[in-house]
């Protein structure tokens, strides 16, 4: 389905999209040494231009605060000198990675002398829609450069000034290498353009929406272009009965508290009914200002059972402890709010995750290798963790340099998508006048 049909002969959007197609072809012909050099130049330009970028970001932050953006979402919007330095280092890491384009994956010669190769090629022109985090723009352009893809970028309105400043910084280097035509930014203010682009399958090869369920559902229902969804992160962590307390508590706090506004933050904690340190863990979370949504069994224990005395300093009337509703288990809070459920074992944990999970990140804390294997085989997620924070499901942490997002789809990538996940492959056949008999 397409909203606001456009006149393909006169609409300026078509000129922009056809220009991207031509620019992508030029980019795909850039030698690997040129890609490496361009990425290195971009990394240094980000630092050299940081004053202008941070000034634009400060204005976006001021507007976002006035609009009442939550603290967690404000954190996603913030750029600082340290974050720009990390961003620059990520671009450098991408530049130094092994080539992913024009690589021969397989080669064989038949008895008749015909040579068959399978070679990596770009996906083409990608329409990338992302929300809030302006650093994503730089990651996306860097990965597109490495993989030879053109890209139309659409960021969120709350980061429009920062995105413009970042793109202006990048564009100077892109012009120097003759590949500026491979990239364009769709103005955040005009939402109608998104629907129009989604109807242009002849110019766009892939759509990657990175954001909440509302964005992903809108894209899927308004286009016939292939979509790789980077959907919500309903991440779970299961604490088995034998999990060491000194390991569990830091993992849970890191997963939930460190940066609650990111997609790999913990949203639901499942605790085995026989794990003996439930009270201490819940108390630690409350002391870190986490609001708890407890299932009925745990809520009853806090109100009148074994956990009542342990949490006596946290009255049920303080606005920090509630009974979880059915809707809560389906909610990505992106805030200091956590669902907590009691389960009888790993089977019930797996069943709960199958019902409510979003195929993003699932973690088990346990010692028994049989239970660990049962969990890792039983859950369906783009990343499964064992005795590790949910926050390791990240392109930089997993050795990709950076990511364009975390795919919760399975075709053709599952999990963080780096440069290697932004290429496909084709067959090349070399003969000497060979004909098929």
Helix, strand, coil share of the chain (percent; to 5)? 45, 20, 40
Which helix (H) or strand (E) segment is 300 a member of?
helix 296-304
Cα gap 154→314, rounded to integer Å = 44
Cα gap 235→280, rounded to integer Å = 22
Region of poorest pLDDT, from 7-16, 87-96, 270-279: 7-16
Instruction: Please report, rounded to a whole number, the percentage of residues in the chain having pLDDT higher than 90.
Output: 83
Taking residue 317's Cβ as centre, other Cβ atoms within 10 Å add up to: 7
pLDDT beyond 70 at 7: no
pLDDT beyond 50 at 338: yes
Q: What pLDDT, on the 0 to 100 scale, is given for residue 2?
A: 44
Cα gap 15→11, rounded to integer Å = 7
pTM to 2 decimals? 0.90
Q: What pLDDT, on the 0 to 100 scale, is given for residue 73?
A: 81
Q: pLDDT category, 19, cuts 50, 70, 90?
A: very high
Average pLDDT over residues 192-201: 91
Cα gap 205→225, rounded to integer Å = 7
More confident residue, 323 or 9: 323
Which helix (H) or strand (E) segment is 236 a member of?
strand 235-239
Residue 387, Cβ density class (10 Å: 0-12 exposed, 13-18 middle, ≥19 buried): middle
Q: What pLDDT, on the 0 to 100 scale, is given for residue 133?
A: 86
pLDDT beyond 60 at 359: yes
Q: What pLDDT, on the 0 to 100 scale, is given for residue 188?
A: 63
Region of poorest pLDDT, from 123-127, 129-133, 287-291, 306-310: 306-310
Q: Which sign, positive or negative, has the C-alpha torsion 32, 34, 38, 40?
A: positive
Q: Are strands 183-185 and 406-407 parallel, antiparallel or unpaired?
A: unpaired
Q: pLDDT category, 9, cuts 50, 70, 90?
A: very low
Region of poorest pLDDT, from 47-61, 85-99, 183-197, 356-370: 183-197
Instruction: Please report, rounded to a whole number, the percentage of residues in the chain having pLDDT higher than 70.
Output: 95
pLDDT beyond 50 at 192: yes
Query: What would the two tokens of residue 143 be?
Result: 């990965």
Q: pLDDT category, 255, cuts 50, 70, 90?
A: very high
Cα gap 60→74, rounded to integer Å = 10
Q: pLDDT category, 368, cuts 50, 70, 90?
A: very high
The tens digit of pLDDT for each residue in 198-229 reads 999 999 999 999 988 888 999 999 999 999 98
Query: What would the two tokens of residue 296 be?
Result: 């009925």
Q: pLDDT category, 317, cuts 50, 70, 90?
A: low
Cα gap 332→250, rounded to integer Å = 21
C-alpha triplet 15, 19, 22: angle, nearest 5°: 145
Helix axes 50-66, 160-176, angle to 10 degrees: 160
Q: pLDDT category, 312, cuts 50, 70, 90?
A: confident
Q: pLDDT category, 316, cuts 50, 70, 90?
A: low
Q: pLDDT category, 10, cuts 50, 70, 90?
A: very low
Q: pLDDT category, 179, cuts 50, 70, 90?
A: very high
């Amino acid at each position: 389905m397409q909203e606001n049909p456009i006149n393909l002969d006169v609409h300026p959007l078509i000129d922009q999209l056809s220009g991207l197609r031509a620019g992508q072809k030029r980019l795909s012909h850039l030698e690997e040494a040129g890609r490496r050099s361009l990425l290195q130049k971009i990394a240094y330009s980000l630092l050299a231009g940081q004053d202008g970028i941070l000034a634009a970001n400060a204005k976006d932050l001021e507007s976002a605060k006035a609009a009442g953006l939550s603290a967690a979402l404000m954190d996603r919007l913030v750029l600082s000198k340290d974050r720009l330095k990390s961003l620059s280092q990520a671009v450098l890491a991408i530049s130094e990675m092994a080539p992913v384009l024009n690589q021969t994956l397989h080669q064989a010669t038949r008895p008749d002398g015909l040579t068959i190769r399978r070679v990596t090629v770009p996906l083409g022109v990608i329409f990338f829609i992302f929300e809030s985090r302006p650093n994503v723009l730089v990651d996306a352009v860097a990965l597109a450069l490495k993989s030879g893809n053109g890209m139309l970028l659409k960021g969120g309105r709350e980061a429009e000034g920062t995105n413009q400043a970042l793109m202006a910084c990048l564009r100077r280097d892109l012009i120097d290498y003759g590949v500026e035509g491979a990239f364009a930014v769709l103005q955040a203010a005009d939402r109608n353009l998104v629907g129009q682009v989604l109807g242009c399958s002849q110019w766009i090869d892939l759509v990657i929406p990175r954001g909440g369920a509302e964005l992903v559902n809108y894209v899927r229902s308004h286009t016939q272009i292939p979509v790789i969804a980077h959907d919500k992160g309903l991440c779970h962590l299961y604490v088995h009965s034998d999990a060491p307390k000194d390991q569990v508590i830091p993992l849970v706090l890191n997963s939930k508290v460190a940066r609650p506004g990111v997609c790999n933050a913990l949203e639901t904690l499942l605790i085995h009914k026989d794990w003996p340190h439930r009270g201490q863990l819940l108390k630690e979370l409350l002391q870190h200002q986490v609001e708890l949504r407890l299932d009925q069994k745990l809520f009853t224990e806090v109100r009148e059972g074994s956990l009542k005395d342990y949490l006596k300093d946290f009255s049920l009337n303080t606005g920090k402890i509630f009974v979880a509703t059915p809707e809560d288990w389906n909610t990505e809070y992106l805030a200091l709010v956590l669902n907590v459920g009691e389960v009888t074992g790993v089977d019930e944990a797996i069943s709960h995750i199958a019902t409510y999970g979003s195929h993003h990140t699932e973690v088990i804390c346990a010692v028994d290798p049989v239970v660990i294997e049962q969990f890792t085989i039983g859950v369906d997620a783009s990343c499964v963790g064992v005795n590790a924070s949910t926050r390791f499901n990240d392109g930089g942490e997993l050795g990709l340099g950076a990511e364009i997002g975390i795919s919760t789809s399975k075709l053709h990538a599952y999990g963080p998508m780096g440069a290697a996940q932004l290429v496909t492959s084709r067959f090349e056949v070399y003969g000497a006048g060979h004909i098929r008999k």
